[in-house]
Amino acid sequence: MEAWLPMVGLVEDIRRAAELLVQYRPFIAFTGAGISAESGVPTFRGRGGLWERFRPEELATPEAFERNPRLVWEWYRWRMEIIYKARPNPAHYALVELERLGLIRCVVTQNVDGLHQRAGQHCVVELHGNIWRARCMRCSYKLVFREPPREVPPRCPRCGGLLRPDVVWFGEPLPEEAWRTAVELAESSQGILVVGTSGVVMPAGYIPHIVKQHGGYVVEVNIEESAVTPIADVFLKGRAGEVLPRLVEEARKLLAHG
């Protein structure tokens, strides 16, 4: 009986979350490293995270890049090689299906791996950039990689200048357009589905709070409690790749019954 009770609770919570998604559609989704971890992409925080092995100031700051661009690019190429081999998991595809069903209208993500787009998500707002893009330090030309660069540091094909990863480093502001779009989505949505984020990286972590402050509902899916959990109306504890497909299934049932 004790082993069954948590499952009963999760089933009820998934049903409640599905009811909110259907009643207050469309939600937005907000994703973090946890969803990509299930595809084998290392997270930054938590046990086994990248920051246990690497110091941010040595690899993910403008000063680090100025000091040793080759070292920074070698680290990013290593990450790109991991992501290149990764595949979207059931959680990514569940979000695509929720978009298709009209239950979420956009995914706002902190991830830079591009897995949402590879899964088929149409609306994705990238708050921290994309690891597959690079921009020239001299002429601002942007390049999209189809695979990890063979030589590092890569050079601009237009002017020969040094390319840098088109991601947000520590000490840098978020892309203005992406942040503005994310805030507008949060302010105008009646709910947010938060998946796999610690909720501590700011200012991105404010997005669920903006939804809440504007009267919206917060549904969180995570393997453990986070900084978002205290404001969550429904907390679904579990792996996103297992919980989200069940959420989709429950939402389909509600939509079928009108």
Give the CATH number, domain containing residue 75. Answer: 3.30.1600.10
Query: Domain of 198: which CATH number?
Result: 3.40.50.1220
For residue 102, the 8-state DSSP code is T
What is the spatial distance between Cα 169 and Cα 92, in angstroms, rounded to a whole number? 25
Residue 177 has pLDDT above 60, yes or no: yes
Q: According to the model, what pLDDT value does residue 47 have?
A: 54
Residues 157 and 102 in one domain: no
The total domain count for the chain is 2
175 in helix, strand or coil?
coil
Model confidence, pTM: 0.91
Q: How far from 156 is each of 72, 91, 188, 240, CA to CA, in Å?
A: 17, 36, 40, 39
Please name the residue ranges forming H helices in 110-239.
Answer: 115-119, 176-188, 207-213
Domain residues for the domain of 24 are 1-41+88-128+174-258
Q: Angle CA(60)–CA(65)–CA(68) in degrees, nearest 5?
A: 120
Residue 2 has pLDDT above 60, yes or no: no
Domain end: 147, 167, 187, which one? 167
Residues 75 and 96 in one domain: no
Q: Which of 92, 116, 122, 128 is catalytic?
A: 128
Q: Which comes out higher in pLDDT, residue 36 or 51?
A: 36
Q: Which residues are annotated as a binding site?
A: 32-51, 76, 79, 110-113, 136, 139, 156, 159, 196-198, 222-224, 240
pLDDT cut 70: percent of the chain above it: 91
**Sheet harboring 129-136: ordered strands across?**
142-144, 129-136, 163-167
Residues 102 and 224 in one domain: yes
Residues 201 and 113 in one domain: yes
Q: According to the model, what pLDDT value does residue 9 have?
A: 77
Domain end: 167, 191, 226, which one? 167
Q: Which residues are annotated as a binding site for Zn(2+)?
A: 136, 139, 156, 159
With CA atoms as reference, report the closest residue to 36 among 118, 106, 102, 134. Answer: 118
Asked if 128 is an active-site residue, the reply is yes
What is the spatial distance between Cα 11 and Cα 238, in angstroms, rounded to a whole number? 12
248 in helix, strand or coil?
helix
Residues 20 and 8 in one domain: yes
Dump pLDDT digits (tens) for 80-113: 999 999 999 999 999 999 999 999 999 999 999 9
* Signed CA dihedral, 81, 82, 86, 90: sign only: negative
- The model's confidence at residue 214, banded by pLDDT at 50, 70 and 90, is very high
Residues 210 and 220 in one domain: yes
Dump pLDDT digits (tens) for 148-164: 999 999 999 999 999 99
What is the spatial distance between Cα 195 and Cα 90, in angstroms, rounded to a whole number? 13
What is the spatial distance between Cα 220 and Cα 235, in angstroms, rounded to a whole number? 5
pLDDT, averaged across the chain: 92
Residues 212 and 242 in one domain: yes
Domain end: 145, 167, 189, which one? 167
Residues 123 and 17 in one domain: yes
Residues 71 and 103 in one domain: no
With CA atoms as reference, report the closest residue to 24 among 191, 211, 184, 186. Answer: 191
Residues 74 and 191 in one domain: no
Element at 220 (helix H, strand E)? strand 217-222
- The model's confidence at residue 60, banded by pLDDT at 50, 70 and 90, is confident
Q: Which residues are annotated as a binding site for NAD(+)?
A: 32-51, 110-113, 196-198, 222-224, 240
Q: Which residues are annotated as a binding site for substrate?
A: 76, 79
- Determine contact, residues 231/219, Cβ cutoff 8 Å: no
